[in-house]
Structure formats: structure tokens, C-alpha cells
Amino acid sequence: MEKKALRIESRLAQIGSIEEPVTGAVNFPIYQATAFRHPQLGKSTGFDYSRTKNPTRQVLEDASAQLESGDDAFACSSGMAALQTVFALFGQGDHLIVSLDLYGGTYRLIERVLSKYGISASYVDTNDMDALETHRRSNTKAVFIETPTNPLMMITDIRAVCSWARQHQLLSIVDNTLMTPLFQRPLELGADIVVHSATKYLGGHNDVLAGLIITKGKALSEEMFFLHNSMGAVLSPSDSYQLMRGMKTLALRMERHESNAISIAKYLTTHPAIEAVYHPYLEGHPGRAIQAEQCSGNTGIFSFKVKDARYVEPILRHIQLIAFAESLGGVESLMTYPAVQTHADIPLEIRQAVGVDDKLLRFSVGIEHVEDLIADLAGALEAARVEIEGGESV
């Protein structure tokens, strides 16, 4: 059966499963080899040196290209390595338009590294087409979107922004880490490049650091191949295998992440210690309609604000099942305090403008039983209330 005709769940489950022609092994072997013997001078098996191309990495890359409906894919040693490789498309004097509520690592890459090479960026609410137009300059080369944003879950209309970008001959790049191709495929909506921190949902087990780049179009794919090989920030064969292994269960995991997150978000909206819940599935979320239109599901992370910043420390101390750690997208639930962890590198005024303040917590909901998670959270909120407000525990 033609693999393209299969549904995404089937393609995920069978990544690498029927690719191994020699032994028929149902999982693709880990080619822990750096160099490949040339059968004859001037003849290559297609593999010469693993930085350029490795059979295990290749299976992962082909599967990723197909899942995202792209033409080619490139696996990198981390999500940041993927971003760095993509940004190497640009040179001195180039300008980028970037989502306002941006992952701290991407912000740091732009402001501390790219800025040294004369590459500048404007941070814009990519929902606001007028703002995009206002910030577009003659040297603007690309627009970079995260949707939903992290941690405030702002939604951007991918189709509208990509169409605008195309009109002005700008590349459109979408960080699809939070949604994964199971729920959102930006290349089908007009984007040129998709990037992933595959460390998150694609890997899914908090055990492998990896990044992916997926490109649309022959020229762009060739340019990316050149950069990926030349800069050398490639993913190893063992990590490529680990990532494929994780991706096989992506659909199952995402469905559970989604339903757990929605249940917990709904629970928190009714809790007296909670000031706001940011989840695009909830009624009243400003991006709800666009999200429903361009995605077939919802991610497992969301954010919420406690009514008083003093609650944060005791909550993080009292959660028992939920780990207090950076990162997201794993089978285990993690809670993050963006203001001091993931977003510490973003200046206070920018953080405050988008709402990443000291009352905000980000919850990456795992696949534990939802009742256990709610009980853990309820217990921590109550313990925090007793410490801050005093009085009897209820």
C-alpha cells in the first residue's frame, strides 16, 4: 500500500518499519558508522560520511518530511541547532519579523548571536496584519511564527500570514513544536519551513534532545542541505532512532495530552486561587476560532495565573506528581515558572508587555491519569492557600 495514502496514525506507527531491505528487521538499524566504504572509486552507495547523510537519520528525515507534507527534512542535535541552521539562510543587513511572545532561546539566538552579524528582528503580534505591514522593511527577508505561542497560547492565522509573506516575497517559517504534524501542518497552509524542537512532543519522553527542519520547494531544500552539512549540527544515529521510537506513539500520546489538558484547564477556571487560564480550547480565548480552523486538535500545554505571586513558590514546593522542571511535551507532567526559567533571557519590559509575569505558571500536562493530576494540583493549591492566607486546611 502506498504510504502516502495511509492516515497519519498509521504512518507514525510504521516509521522505519518496512525500510530495512537486508534482514527484514521491523525496526530500522542504528548505523553507528561515520564513514562508508566506496564500492569503487567514483561510486558511492549514496552514503559517504555521516555528517552529510546517515541511513538511520535518513529514515527519520524522510518520515518527518512526509508527516509535515514537505519535500525534505533535516535532523539536528537540538531544537536550537535547527533554528540556528535555518537562520544561517540570512546574512548581514537582513531583517526578520518574529512572533512577540517568543521562546526565550530563540530570542537569545536572535539578540545575542544574529545581532552580531547585522541581522535584526522586530517582535510583532503576528495576529495583527497591520502591525506586520508596519514592521515590514525593504530588507525584511522572513516572518517567523510560533502558534500557539509559548507560554501564553496566542494563536496566529498561519494561512493569512503566509499568504501575506508570499505577496512580499518573504520566507515564512513556523515553529510547530507545540502542535506537531498530527494536529497542525503549516506547510499545507502555505509556510516554507517548519522547525521543531523534537525534544518535546515528537520525542515525547524527556529523554532525547533533537531538532527538525522541514522544507518545501527544491531550491530551499538544497540550500538547507548545504547548511545542515556545512555547519554540522546533525543528530546522531542513536538519537535518531530514539526519536523515531518516540514518534511511533505520537498519536496516542497527543490524544491523552489533549484531553488531560482540557480537563485540567476547565478545572482551574473554577478554582478561586486562579486568576486566568490560557488555553485555546476554552470559551472566550481570542484565538479559539482560528485554532479550530487550522488545527485538528489541541496541544497538552497551557498556562495559568495565580491570583497572588506569593502562591507560586509553595505550589511548586507542594506538587508531588508533577515535576518542577524546564522543557515540555513529555509523558510526565512538568510545571515551569517561565519568568525565572524559560523566559529569563527576555527583558522584563517585553515579558510584561506580553503578560509573562511572576504570577504565570506553565503546565505541560503528561499522560498520567487526569484525576491524579487534578488531585496533586488541588493539594498544592490548598497547601499554598494555607501558607499564604492562614487558616484551616479544607
Partner 1 sequence: MSDQRDSGNEQPTKKLNFATRLLHFGSEIDRTTGASSVPIYQASTFHHEDIYNPPEYDYSRSGNPTRQALEDYIAVLEGGVRGFAYSSGMAAISSTFMILSSGDHIIVTEDVYGGTYRLLTSILNRLGIETTFVDMTDIELVKKAIKPNTKAVYMETPSNPTLKITDIATITEWAKEHELITILDNTFMTPYYQRPIEMGVDIVLHSATKFLSGHSDVLAGLAVVRTEALGASLKQLQNGLGTVLGPQDSWLLIRGMKTLEARMRQSEISAGLLATWLSERTDITNVFYPGLAGHPGREIHETQSTGYGALVSFDVGSGDRAKRVLNKVQLPLVAVSLGAVESILSYPAMMSHAAMPKDVRAERGITDGLLRFSVGLEHIDDLIDDLNQALQEE
Give me the active site residues, please: 51, 103, 175, 200
Q: How far is the CB of 229 from partner 1 (least distance, A)?
A: 8
User: Of all helices (H) and strands (E), which one includes residue 8?
Assistant: helix 8-13
What distances in angstroms separate CA 127 from CA 133, 216, 297, 344, one per listed residue?
11, 23, 20, 24
For partner 1, the closer CB: 158 or 312: 312
For partner 1, the closer CB: 33 or 131: 33
| DSSP SS3 for 88 | coil
Q: Which of residues 56-95 bind partner 1 (CB under 8 A)?
A: 76-84, 88, 90-92
Q: Which residue has the cell 519590559?
A: 349
Q: Which of residues 296-355 bind partner 1 (CB under 8 A)?
A: 312-313, 316-317, 323-327, 330, 334, 337, 340-341
Q: How far is the CB of 50 from partner 1 (least distance, A)?
A: 5
Round to whole Å and give the CA distance between 79 and 105. Answer: 9
Q: How far is the CB of 2 from partner 1 (least distance, A)?
A: 34
> How do 120-124 and 140-146 pair as beta strands?
unpaired
For partner 1, the closer CB: 54 or 176: 54
End-to-end C-alpha distance for the chain, whole angstroms: 59
**CB atoms closer than 10 angstroms to residue 230:** 12
Q: Does 238 bind partner 1 (CB under 8 A)?
A: yes
> How do 120-124 and 171-175 pair as beta strands?
unpaired
Q: How far is the CB of 200 from partner 1 (least distance, A)?
A: 9
Q: Which of residues 148-177 bind partner 1 (CB under 8 A)?
A: none
| Piece of the chain touching partner 1 by CB under 8 A; list 9-17, 34-42, 169-177, 259-267 | 34-42
Q: What's the order of all strands across the beta sheet hosting 120-124? A: 72-76, 211-215, 193-197, 171-175, 140-146, 95-99, 120-124
Q: Which of 231, 276, 350, 388 binds partner 1 (CB under 8 A)?
A: 231
**Partners of 292 in beta bridges:** none
For partner 1, the closer CB: 49 or 375: 49
User: Of all helices (H) and strands (E), which one includes residue 275?
Assistant: strand 274-278
Round to whole Å and give the CA distance between 46 and 58. Answer: 11
Q: Does 131 bind partner 1 (CB under 8 A)?
A: no
Cell digits for 326?
A: 524546564
| DSSP SS3 for 228 | helix
For partner 1, the closer CB: 95 or 185: 95
Q: Which of 12, 28, 36, 247 binds partner 1 (CB under 8 A)?
A: 36
Q: How far is CA 263 from the centre of its chain?
A: 22
Check: CB of residue 185 under 8 Å from CB of residue 69: yes
Q: Does 356 bind partner 1 (CB under 8 A)?
A: no
| Piece of the chain touching partner 1 by CB under 8 A; list 136-144, 152-160, 236-244, 267-275 | 236-244
For partner 1, the closer CB: 203 or 300: 203
Which positions lie near partner 1, rule CB under 8 A? 32-38, 40-42, 48-51, 76-84, 88, 90-92, 105, 108-109, 112-113, 116-119, 199, 203, 206-209, 211, 226-227, 230-236, 238-239, 242, 312-313, 316-317, 323-327, 330, 334, 337, 340-341
